[in-house]
Amino acid sequence: MKKSIKVIASALLAAAVFVGCSSKAAFKDGTYEGEAQGFKAPIKVSVVIKDGKVSDVTVLENGDTAELFGKASEAIIKEVKEENSADALTTVSGATYSSKGLIDAIKAALEKAK
């Protein structure tokens, strides 16, 4: 009897660790907005979740320099869609503050989708 309980407990623990280690979050479907400070002005985004994954990110408002922001947004949005997360994103060289603002705005939107 004790051996059976230990086996079941071990199996449950292993399952919990496996589920807890998943780096790909499943989000609630819908459209969520987030906002954060960019270099010159706030950045506002809309994130669409479909089938639990990020399917689209749209910049709704941005007051940063178009060239720098464009450089940052292209790379970051692509990575967010591929990774289904805004965690562990790095800023784009030459557009650090725009990158950070965009990442933080996306994180704010994704927080609402949990």
Domains and CATH numbers, the chain: 27-112 (3.90.1010.20)
Torsion, Cα of 16, 22, 26, 27 (10° steps)? 100
Which H or E element spans position 36?
strand 30-37
Q: What pLDDT band is residue 32 in, cutting at 50, 70 and 90?
A: very high
Q: What pLDDT band is residue 71 in, cutting at 50, 70 and 90?
A: confident
Q: 0.75 cut: is pTM over it? A: yes
pLDDT digit string, tens, across residues 41-70: 999 999 999 999 999 999 999 999 999 899
What percent of the chain is predicted at pLDDT more than 90?
70
Residue 101 has pLDDT above 70, yes or no: yes
Residue 23 has pLDDT above 80, yes or no: no
Separation of alpha carbons 12 and 32, rounded Å: 34
Cβ neighbours of 93 (radius 10 Å): 9
